[in-house]
Amino acid sequence: MSRNTGLIFIVILVSVFNFSMPAAFAQTNPNEEIKNKDKPLKGEWDFQLRKTWETYNAGDDILLQVSDIKVADDDRVYLYDLKYHKFFVFSPEGEFLFAFGKQGEGPGEYKMVFNFFLEGKYVIVPEMGRFHYFTMDGKYVRTNNPGVMIFPRNFIDENRFITIQEQENGKGKPEKLQIFDLTSKERTTLAEVTAEKALTASAGGMRLVLKDSSSTPSIVAGVRNNEIYYGKSDKYLIKKIDFKGKESLKFSIQGRERKKIPTAVKRKRFDNLRINNRKPSKEMVDQLIKGMPDYCTYFSRILIDENGLVYIFVNDMTNDTGQEIDIFSPQGKYLYHSHVTLPEGLRWQTPYEFEGNNLYIFTEDEEGEKKLVKYKIVKPSLGGA
C-alpha cells in the first residue's frame, strides 16, 4: 500500500501471545500445515473506528515527519519526529507532556534515528549499531555499543532483541531470523530463508541499495510471550516458533493473488524518496522503477493481540486510504478479513500502532496537513472467534 514517507525501508515488529485453547481447536500435528481457503470463515470484520482525540502539535512544534509511534503500559504515547530529531510524549488523553532527545555526538545524543522501543523501564533508541537507553521520563541512562552494525525488530527484554541478518544484495544466500544478546554479543539463529535481490541504482558516483518491504520479499516477524510468528513475504505461509527455533504451528492462505504495482505508483514511491534530505537523480529513480517488481509482497507486518489472534497486514501500494488485514485464530484458522478505512478522507500512513482497543496513527488530510489521531476500535474476541 502507498505510504507518503521518505522511509522506504520499513521495519515493523510487534507482539505475539501464547494462548491455551480448548481441545476442539488444538492442532494435533505441528508439522501439518493449516491450509486456509481465501475466504474467511466468519466474513468481514468492522473495527468501528471512533476518534478519541487528535493533535497537530507537540507544544510549540508542529508535527511534520513522525517516523515511529509506541504506546507505554500506562497508555502514554511516545513518538519520534525526524524533522526535530526529538521524542514527543503525550498523555492518554492527548495532552502534550514533554520532549526529549537531541541530535549530536555527546553522551545520549544521536546522529540518525528512525525508530525506538519501549521495554521495561526504558526507551531504547537504536542508532547505527549503538543503543541509547533513556528512562520513560526521557532522562539519559547509558549507551550500549556492541561493536557490530545491527538493527533490532523487537526487544525481548532490555538486553535481547529479534533481528534479521540480511544480505545486502545476495540473492540466493540465507537471510536469518536471530536473537541477539547485547550483553554476551551472541547470536542465536532461529530460522533461515533464501534472500532476494535488493533494489539498486548508481549514478554520479553514488550507489543506492534499497529493500522495500512492500515489493522485496523478506522475513516479517511478530513476537509476544516467548513465541515468534514469521514468514517470508513472497509466500502466504506463517510459522510459529519458540526462542529455540522449535516450530509448533504453520498456516497459509491458498490461492491468494498478490497486488499489482502500476508504473505510476512506482514513480510516486520514489518521488517521495530522500537521501540526506535530497531527491535522487532522475537516472537513479528510473533505474529503481525498472528494477522494482511488478507485484507487492503478500504482507509487511504481523501483529498478535492480547487474545492470541493473529493479524496479517496485507500489502497494496495502490491503496493509500486504508489497510487490509487478515485475522487468524491462535490455531491458524482464517477467521476474518477487514478493510480499515480512515474517516474524513484521511490517508493511511506509516507509522501506526494498534494497542489494546485503540489505533494510533500519524495521518494526512486532503490539504496535506498532518496530525496524530487516536481512535477507539472494536476488535474480535476469542469467544467470538
Buried b (16+ CB within 10 A) or exposed e, 22-57: eeeeebeeeeebbebeeebeeeebebebeeeeebee
Specify the range with the lowest mean pLDDT, choosing from 29-33, 113-117, 165-169, 257-261.
165-169
- Evaluate whether 212 touches 268 at the Cβ level (below 8 Å): no
**pLDDT tens, 195-244?**
777 777 777 666 777 777 788 888 999 998 899 999 999 999 999 999 99
pLDDT score recorded for residue 169: 54
pLDDT score recorded for residue 14: 32
| Percent of the chain whose predicted confidence (pLDDT) is above 70 | 89
Does 154 map to a domain? yes
| Position with higher pLDDT, 335 vs 275 | 335
Going by C-beta distance under 8 Å and a sequence separation of 6 or more, which residues neighbour residue 133? 122, 123, 124, 125, 140, 141, 142, 143, 144, 158
Does 234 map to a domain? yes
Does 10 map to a domain? no
Does 333 map to a domain? yes
Does 172 map to a domain? yes
Average pLDDT, stretch 153-177? Answer: 83
Is 90 exceeded by the pLDDT of residue 365?
Answer: no
What does pLDDT average to over the chain? 88
Q: How many CB atoms lie within 10 A of CB 274?
A: 13
Domain that holds residue 231: 23-376
CATH number at residue 347: 2.120.10.30
List the 50-55 sheet strands across, edge first.
Answer: 50-55, 370-376, 358-364, 352-355
Does 194 map to a domain? yes
Does 4 map to a domain? no
pTM: 0.87
Q: Tell me how many domains the chain contains.
A: 1
Does 78 map to a domain? yes
